[in-house]
Structure 1
Amino acid sequence: MISQMFRTEGMPGFYRGFGSIMLTVIPANMCYFSGYEIGKRVTPPNMGLASDVTTAAIAQGIAGLVYCPIDIVKQTVQTASLMGRPGETGHVSVLDAARSIWTHNGLRGFFRGFVTMNALWMPWNLIYIPSYEACKRSWYYHYLDLHHEKVAVSVSRGNIVSEADPPMQKLLPLWAFPLCSSVCAATAAICTHPIDVIKTRLQVLSVTDPGKRYKAFPVAGYLLRKEGLGGFARGLGARVVTMAAGSSVSWFAYELVKRKLLELDAPEA
């Protein structure tokens, strides 16, 4: 598929609709990280894994309502050139894709596969966020054990001055965040890839045959009969690389901005 796209469209083919997609991905990520922050604030930190799992569920629950329409439109744009419809050029803009979805299916068309999408991204987040938090905590405590006398800070409350460990956000080196993120994202991608294969099939079928309603289990059964278990691993390598790279960039940006905001909010000595 990659070589076919490169031969027919060259490098521009890989960036078709990039600018328009960015305009929608930004608010989607805003919702996701807002959900993550809300989850961190409403769950008691001493709950450990339960707190991380709850945070993951809240983040995905909020983001899912925004991600699904964006993902439907994105899949339509990116797969249009490979569908081979007679009389069509294969080049579809984001606006054209959205208009086509609305014409054929109305508002429901933007949420087609919503349950399947959350069946993918909810488990992905339930794996990713707890493992990401655990990775950061392990690194943080290891760093404290090695350099505790160098990193302890004084905390003043009224007339009482005591030593306390510095916040994880300020102590860990910035490169630790994308490293933790890429490893945990790759792990979550491997675990949930079969669901992603089914989700993609459902969304492609909604483009090629918009008048018919497909369901996840029949599509999964058909794939198993035609391609065996190997069909559920198709595209695994590309997805692992994509998820690891994308997560490391987005979470690095998030952690960097958060660190800068904490520095601005910190009281002056």
Structure 2
Amino acid sequence: MVTTKTEEPANGAGGVVSSIRGALAGPIAGVCSRFITYPPDTIKARLQVQGAAIHNGQKLYTGTWNAVVQVAQHEGLPGFYRGFGAVALGSVPANLAYFGGYEAAKALVPAGWGMLGDMAVGAGAQLLAGLVFTPVDIVKERLQVAPLMRGAYSYSGPGQAVRELIRQNGLRGLLKGYWATNAVWLPWNTIFIAAYEGSKRAAARAGATQATARDGRPGDAAAAAGEAEMHAASEAAAATSSSTRSGSSEEELSPLVLGICSAGSASLAGVLTHPADVVKTRLQVLSACQAHARTTAWSLAVHMWRTEGPKVFMTGLGARIIQLAPGTALSWVIYEPIKKVLAPPHP
């Protein structure tokens, strides 16, 4: 007979405990990953915005590597970390909201929803986290691209950027582009979480199959029965929804496997949502200019299409994937073990 690890309830007290664990583990994972991946995020933001900030009739950067070289030459290491102070401070509440929302959604989504349940979990986590991420994102991106926007604004640091946002548009200024942000991150998270949870289940099934083949004994009735029971358990786990997906086999996945699952899923979601990310970045940056104060995401996208062509919507994709894939992998490779450490001991 196969013995399994006692699992927390998918709802009630167990759901609350999971949410608290996620809220505590998330900020640690988020700050570590953002520090490592912040430089390519700065390059991505500048590449996306420079089409609206032409210098002397031509673009400042010819491509990703050229942008890296120029920032290094003219601004040094601090240039790659413009606005990181806002991100470091904002990452704590933002990741608390995201990972806490992720665990809470897992507890609330009914069993048996499969991939649809995974997508619902991703959407729930993003809608909650977006309320915190949006102000952080606006301040971060305006500071990142400040050298391209001389004359439009000049901030001495995150504090002044926040004060200016509030002065110009009231508290609503802190949520400028909330739905434009969600136009990127809502589909990104639904795709990412569905792909991530699905790939984890596939990896767990593959591991269980290999273990069964390695440990099986031909002609041994007890072993055959155990193999059949393990196979049935594996199939049941595959059909289980995201609200009960934290089975023991998945909990035992190695950091390397978790990293591959999360990096691959993040890259897929990043490619599919990149056009919306370009529009979102420009909207948040250009809204600092009086001439663009009333610009909407749709009108901006139409203008970009007419003046720069369709290729503009893939600007900075390489830098974004370089930032997304390792950053997301690092976040989840750190998050999953910390969450297990914070788990109450099983009776």
User: Considering the TM-score relative to the shorter chain, is it more than 0.5?
Assistant: yes
Match of 1:43 in 2: 109
Indicate if the aligned counterparts of 1:52 and 1:130 stay in contact, CA closer than 8 A: yes
Indicate if the aligned counterparts of 1:135 and 1:180 stay in contact, CA closer than 8 A: yes
Give the letter for the 1:189 counterpart: G
Match of 2:345 in 1: 265
**Aligned match for 1:130, one of 179, 184, 194:** 194
**1:91-124 Cα deviation digits (max 9, x unpaired):** 5311011011111111111111111111111010
User: Is the counterpart of residue 31 in structure 1 residue 97 in structure 2?
Assistant: yes
Distance across 1 between alignment mates of 2:276 and 2:263: 20
Higher mean C-alpha deviation, range 142-151 or range 18-27 = 142-151
**Aligned match for 2:169, one of 105, 108, 115:** 105
Cα 1:91–1:73 change in 2 (3 A) is: closer
**1:45-77 Cα deviation digits (max 9, x unpaired):** 322112111111111111111111111111122
Displacement of 1:258 in angstroms is 1.6
Match of 2:325 in 1: 244
Pairwise mapping of residues 213-232 of structure 1 onto structure 2 (< 5 A)? 213-232=294-313
Indicate if the aligned counterparts of 1:140 and 1:168 stay in contact, CA closer than 8 A: yes
Cα 1:92–1:241 change in 2 (3 A) is: same
User: Is the counterpart of residue 96 in structure 1 residue 154 in structure 2?
Assistant: no
Identify unmatched segments of 5+ residues in structure 2. 1-60, 62-66, 216-228, 235-246
User: Is the counterpart of residue 61 in structure 1 residue 127 in structure 2?
Assistant: yes
Match of 2:87 in 1: 21
Higher mean C-alpha deviation, range 171-180 or range 237-246 = 171-180
Displacement of 1:150 in angstroms is 7.8
Cα 1:186–1:221 change in 2 (3 A) is: same
Displacement of 1:38 in angstroms is 0.5
Match of 1:52 in 2: 118
Match of 2:51 in 1: none
User: Is the counterpart of residue 84 in structure 1 residue 136 in structure 2?
Assistant: no
**1:107-143 Cα deviation digits (max 9, x unpaired):** 1111111111111110101110000000000000111
Identify unmatched segments of 5+ residues in structure 1. 152-161
Q: Secondary structure at the match of 1:92?
A: coil
Q: Secondary structure at the match of 2:145?
A: helix
Displacement of 1:211 in angstroms is 6.6
Give the letter for the 2:300 counterpart: V
Normalised to the residue count of structure 2, the TM-score between the two structures is: 0.69
Pairwise mapping of residues 62-211 of structure 1 onto structure 2 (< 5 A)? 62-85=128-151, 90=154, 92-148=156-212, 167-209=248-290
Give the letter for the 2:346 counterpart: A
Distance across 2 between alignment mates of 1:85 and 1:76: 13
Report the number of matched residues: 255
Distance across 2 between alignment mates of 1:80 and 1:240: 23
Normalised to the residue count of structure 1, the TM-score between the two structures is: 0.87
Give the letter for the 1:109 counterpart: G
Query: Per chain length, whose mean CA-contact separation is higher, i.e. which structure has more relative contact order (CA < 8 Å, sep 6+)?
Result: 2
